[in-house]
Structure 1
Amino acid sequence: MKRIFLAIGILLSIADGYGQTRPKIKALRPGDRVPEIVFSPLNQSGKKSIKLSSLKGKVVILDFWASYCASCITFFKHSADLQDAFEKDVQIITVIPSNVNDNEARIRKVIKNWESYHQEKFTLPVVLQDKQSAQYFPWSSFPHFVWIDRNGVFRGISKEQGIDERAMKWAVADAYDSMKLAASSIDFPVNTPWIELLDPAQQNDLRIRTALFDALPGMLTNWGFSYDSVGHRTGLRINNLNCIAFYQAVCPELRSMPDNRFRFPTDKKEAVYCFEAVHRPLPEAVQQQWLKNQFDFYFGLQTSLVDTLVDCWVLTTNGTTVYPSVYKEEYTNLYERGVGKYALRHADPSLLMSYLNDVSTVPVQDESGVDFPIDLEIPAVTPMEEISMALEKYGLRLSRVRRNIQLFIGRPVGQLH
C-alpha cells in the first residue's frame, strides 16, 4: 500500500490578505477546443503570421523552449527531420513563451549557430514572446510539446521522449490513447486534487493541504505551480523527483547549483517521490520558505546554505593559454550527453563548467578567466585527471585544492553537528 504523509494546517488570518493576480486566460484541459491563436514567426519569409485555424486538417505540435535550454536546441534536428517526414500531415511550431527572458537578437543568434553547425537552414517556425499559448498550456520545464489534433482539439502534453516517428503516426491516425499524454506540463487538476480527505463542509475553511507520496510509475518527471482561479488556490505538484529537485523547485537560488554541492544522506538523494501542496496565495518569499519548511519536515532534515572549506577541483590556466583558431566565430554552444560519452561542441566556458560538475563528485570552480569556445569528446566515465590532460591543448588544467564553497546541507534532525 502506498505510503501517504499528510500535514494539514491553518495559516494566520493575515495570510488571507495577500492576493495573486488572476490569469486572464484559463488553462486548457485535454478535450478542450483550442481558441484561435495567431503566431508571428521570426523566420518565415513572406509570412507575417500563421493562424492556428489555417492549419486545420494537420496535427499541430507546439515545441516550447528557451535559448538557455541546451537539450531543446539539440533536439531541433530530430524535430526538423520529423517535420520533413510528415510535412503533409503535421506542423511543428517552436514557441518561446512571454514569461521567458529571451529577446529577438538572442534567438536569432541561436538559429544562426544551429544552421552553421548542421549546415542546413532552420525551417521550423520560431515564435517569440507568445502570450496566449503560454497561458493555455502552463509549463514547468523545457522542452515540452503540446499536441493539437486535426480538428483543433488539445490532446495533451509530452516531453521530448514522446516525440518520435511512432507517435507521429499515432497522432495522424487520431490514436491519441496510445500516446499516454499528460493533461498539462504541470498536471495540477484544480477541481480534483490528490488530497480529498476532509468533509466538504470544511473546504471553505481549508488553508493548507500537503502530501508526500511514493513515486508514481508512468507519470512524467517534472514539477510546477498552478493557480485555481475559481477556488482562489495555488498548487504545487512535484512528480517523481528526488529531494534535491524538491528544494530546487521552491528555492530559485539553488536551481543553478550543481548536484555535487548538495550534501544530503544517500538514501534521500537516491529515492524519488511525488508531492502536492494546495494553499491560499502567498507572497513569493513567504511561499518559498513555507514549502522549504514542509520538505524539511517530510524528509526529517534541517537544511541550510553554508559556506565551508571543502576539497574541490579548480580550473586554471597553466600560463600558456592556447586560443583556438575559431576563437572569433560564434558559439555553437552545445553540450551533448549521449550513450557512453559526453561532448562539448564549440561551447562557452559556462557549459564546460556544467560538464565538469556533472562528472565530478566534488565541486569544480572556474578560476581560469577563459572566454573562448571549447570542443571536447570524452567517455562518460573518465577520471578528472584524464579530463585535465584533454584540456591541456587549451592551456588549461584541473588541480585538486581546498576552497571555501557554498553548499546546501541537509542534516538529519537530531544530528545537527
Structure 2
Amino acid sequence: MNDIHRMGMVLPFPNKQTYIFICLFTLIIGGYNAKAQDNKVVDVTTKGIQIGQQVPDITITSIHNYKTNSAKISDFKGKLLIIDFWATWCSPCIAMIPKMDSLQKQFGDKIQFLSVTYQIEKEAMPFLAKLEEQHKRHYNVPVVVADKDLHKQFPHTTLPHYVWVGADGKVKAITESQEVTIANISKMLSGNAEIAKKSDFKIAYDRSKPFLINGNGGDGSNLLYHSVLTKFTEGISPNYSRTSLNNNSQGKIIASNIPLVLIFRMAYGGYDKYYSPSRCILNVSDKNSLSSEKNGMEYMDWLRKGNGYCYELIVPPNLSARMFEIMKNDLSNFFPEYISKAEKRKVKCLVLKRTSNSDKIKSRGGQPSIEFSPFGFDVKNSRLSTIAMRLEVLYMQNSPYPIVDGTNYDSTVDLKIDAKISDLTALNKSLSKYDLKFEVDDYITDVLIIEDKQKSTN
C-alpha cells in the first residue's frame, strides 16, 4: 500500500523553489479552526453535532443524481442516512464510490447514501462523469456540491468522513470508510450497532514558525539555526516539506509525524530527486521500525507507538544550499544503528521505450506545458524524463518498480494521452500511437539503500 492510501495525497513538486508533500487528506471547511493561542489537542468532530443528537432540518441544495435538486433532512426520515464527505483529490474517497453504489442497491429503500463535497459543480460533476466512463458504470448515489451547511454541522479534518443518521433523525455514528460495511449497516438497521467512532485531532500549529518553542516554536524572528527531533506529537497532521533554493533566504525542512523511511527519502531526494518506495532497498532486520503496510487508524497508532517522528531544520541563508547534507548528518547522529547511501543500481524498472525508429513525438515548439489527471495527460514541448518522474511521484506510485525514461530521446515532445494512467494496459494502448511503450526490464537507476550498521560492517 502506498503513501497516498496510508497517509494521503502526495503532490509532485511544481518547481525548484518549493515542493510540499501533504501526507494526510486534510480539510477544514466552515468547521473548527484552532486559534493561535490554543495549544491543546482537540477532537474537531466534538465541535459539531454529536452522536445521539438530533440533526437540524436544514435544506440541502445543489443535489445532483437525485429526483429533486434540493431536499430537507426530514425527507430522509425512516431511512438510515449515511452522509459521505469526499473530494475529487481523495483517492480513498473515489475508491468508496462503487462500494457505496453497491450497498445502496443491496439495501434499497432502507438506507440512503448522500455524497457531499465542498467542491463546485464544474469540479466535481465532470470528474464523476469521467469516472463512470472509465468504469463503464453509472453510480446512483446522490451528490451534493458546493456544500457549506453540512460541513458546518459536522466539522472534520480528514477525508473520507462518514456521518450516520438514524431513521429518527439522530446521529448514530461518525466513522471512517472502513466501517461502512454490510455487517455494520445491518447492525445499525437492527438497532444494536456499536461502531468505532472516528476522531480528527487538531492542534494549533503554524508551519511558518519554528517548532516546539513557546508552544509552537516562537516567532522565529531571531533564530539563525536549529535542528529538532521529537517522537510522534499528537494533533499535527503528517507532513513533509522544504523551502528555499535561494542563498538569500533562510532554508527550512519540516517532517511532521512521519515514519523514518520517509525522512531518509526526503534527505537523499534533496532539491531535485524523488525516491519513491520502489526505489528504497531496506536491508534491515526490523523493517517495521522504518515503515509499515498498515492503513487508517491502525497506521496512525503504529506511528504513535514510537515509529513516528517530527524533525525540523532551519539554517541561515549561507547554509541553505547545504541543508540536505546537514539533514543527512543529523540522521546519522540521531540513528547510528543505520547506514544509508544513494547509488545507481541495475534493478527491475518500468521502462519507457520506443517501439520503432519513426519519430512521432517530436515537439512542434511553443510554450512548454504539462497537464495531468488520473485519466490522461497533455504534454507540450517537454521532456520524456519529466513525464516519467510525474508518473512515479503521483499517478503511478502504486508501481512496484521505479519508472524511468529509457528512450534516450534528447528532444522535447508533444503527447496527448487519453487513458486511465494507473491502468498500464490502457496507458500502453494509448502510447502505442506514438510508438512508445512501458515494459518491465532491468535498468540502471537511482536507489536509496538503508542497512543495519552491524550488517553493513560485516
Q: Provide TM-score, normalisation by structure 2.
A: 0.49
- Structure 1 unaligned segments of length 5 or more: list them: 1-16, 191-204, 214-221, 227-236, 278-286, 324-330, 335-347, 380-386
Distance 1:146 1:90 in 2: 13
8 A Cα contact 2:66 2:142, kept in partner: no
Q: Secondary structure at the match of 1:275?
A: helix
In structure 1, the partner of 2:123 is 106
Identity percentage of aligned residues: 17
Counterpart amino acid of 2:437? Answer: L
In structure 1, the partner of 2:114 is 93
Quick check: 1:289 aligned with 2:312?
Answer: yes
Query: Deviation at 1:357?
Result: 4.3
Compared CA separation, residues 265 and 19, structure 1 to 2 (3 A): farther
Query: Deviation at 1:80?
Result: 1.3
Query: Deviation at 1:31?
Result: 3.5
In structure 2, the partner of 1:182 is 197
1:6-405, aligned counterparts within 5 Å? 19=37, 26-44=47-65, 47-97=68-118, 102-135=119-152, 136-140=154-158, 142-177=159-194, 180-184=195-199, 186=200, 188=201, 212=232, 225=237, 242-244=259-261, 258-261=276-279, 266=284, 267=287, 268-271=289-292, 273-275=302-304, 289=312, 300=335, 313=349, 314-318=351-355, 319=357, 333=375, 357-362=397-402, 364=404, 370-374=415-419, 395-398=436-439, 401-402=443-444
Query: Deviation at 1:40?
Result: 2.2
Query: Deviation at 1:67?
Result: 1.5
How many residue pairs are counted as aligned between the two chains?
314
8 A Cα contact 1:117 1:332, kept in partner: no
8 A Cα contact 1:33 1:152, kept in partner: yes
Compared CA separation, residues 181 and 20, structure 1 to 2 (3 A): same
Counterpart amino acid of 1:125? Answer: P
Deviations 1:5-48 (A, max 9, x none): xxxxxxxxxxxx95589999924443344445443234146623
Query: Deviation at 1:79?
Result: 1.0
Counterpart amino acid of 2:304? Answer: F
Superposition CA RMSD, Å: 5.8
Segment drifting more, 118-127 vs 54-63: 118-127
Distance 1:274 1:151 in 2: 39
Query: Deviation at 1:352?
Result: 8.0
8 A Cα contact 1:320 1:395, kept in partner: no
Q: Provide TM-score, normalisation by structure 1.
A: 0.53
Counterpart amino acid of 1:112? Answer: A
Deviations 1:256-283 (A, max 9, x none): 9732355767423345623299xxxxxx
- Structure 2 unaligned segments of length 5 or more: list them: 1-34, 204-213, 218-229, 239-255, 266-270, 293-298, 314-326, 362-372, 377-387
Counterpart amino acid of 1:148? Answer: V
